[in-house]
Amino acid sequence: MMEIEKIAESLEQETAAGNFMPQGWRGKLTMGLAYEVQLAILRRRIGRGERQTGWKVGLTAAAMRTQQNVHEPCFGYLLASGHRPSGYQYNFDQLIAPGFENELCLRVSAPLRGPGVTLADVAAAVTHAAPALEVIERRGNFTDDLPLAMADNAQQHSYVTGAEVALSDANRNLGAATVDVLVGGALAETAPGSAVMGEGALLSVMWLANKLAEFRLGIEAGHVIMSGSFTRQYAAIQDMMVESKFSPFGTVTARF
């Protein structure tokens, strides 16, 4: 525990100095240790008055995991200070090599604690979905040192959400959802919800609940989950307008 806290303190000091994913820590963390450091930094941030709102799941596409040479998705945390409403305008100059992903933000209304969480457990606990954009920052070479990227909260900067929609028998098959991504008013891509974990975003929540159990944690009632991108990760450029239309869950927009 002392080693984890020392690494967390070191990385926070480096970050405060503008040195992200510092060279001195490259190649020194395993994935397990990196997650412990990420969670230690989360505890430190909560101790300074931040509030956790939930979690993000990344690398939910098999092709992305193959590309990164990892066998499972990854996770990071979400904070209240990182939440933005649909229509939010970012100050591009305040972001570090930003990008965005097109996701459903799922609300969990009952706790999910692994191990052994099933898809049926998740379907009963997840009650709402909102169209969302995860805004990331490329604060270092994600592919060069994946554990160090996990310690740096898996590129998370903030997340933008539209209005929540209650889940019902008519729309609970999240793999059947689709998104139309419009950049500058032009259609850039249409993608299916089945791109997330091969079947849909409920599977990423199941994975997360069981993975968090390895770190003595669970998904709490009221948490929201950025559940994985339907699309590739897009680079953001100055003056870019993004409009992502999720059928049947509505639209989310942001401007950089």
Mean predicted lDDT score pLDDT of the chain: 95
Predicted confidence (pLDDT) per residue in 172-204, tens digit:
999 999 999 999 999 999 999 999 999 999 999
> Which pLDDT does position 140 carry in this prediction?
85
pTM of the model: 0.96
Mean pLDDT of 77-92: 98
> Which pLDDT does position 1 carry in this prediction?
63
Residue 79 has pLDDT above 80, yes or no: yes
- The domains of the chain, with CATH numbers, are 53-255 (3.90.850.10)
User: 161: Cβ–Cβ under 8 A, 6 or more apart, which residues?
Assistant: 83, 84, 85, 86, 105, 130, 131, 132, 224, 252
Residue 150 has pLDDT above 90, yes or no: yes
User: Which pair of tokens denotes residue 161?
Assistant: 């959400």
> Which pLDDT does position 186 carry in this prediction?
98
| DSSP string covering 97-125 | SEEEEEEEEEEE-S-B--SS--HHHHHHH
> Which pLDDT does position 68 carry in this prediction?
67
Query: CA end-to-end span of the chain, whole Å?
Result: 40
Mean pLDDT of 42-53: 98
Quickly state the pLDDT bin for 67 (edges 50, 70, 90). Answer: low
Residue 63 has pLDDT above 90, yes or no: no
Percentage of the chain modeled with pLDDT above 90 = 91
> Which pLDDT does position 65 carry in this prediction?
76
Between 141 and 130, residue with greater pLDDT:
130
Predicted confidence (pLDDT) per residue in 225-247, tens digit:
999 999 999 999 999 999 999 99
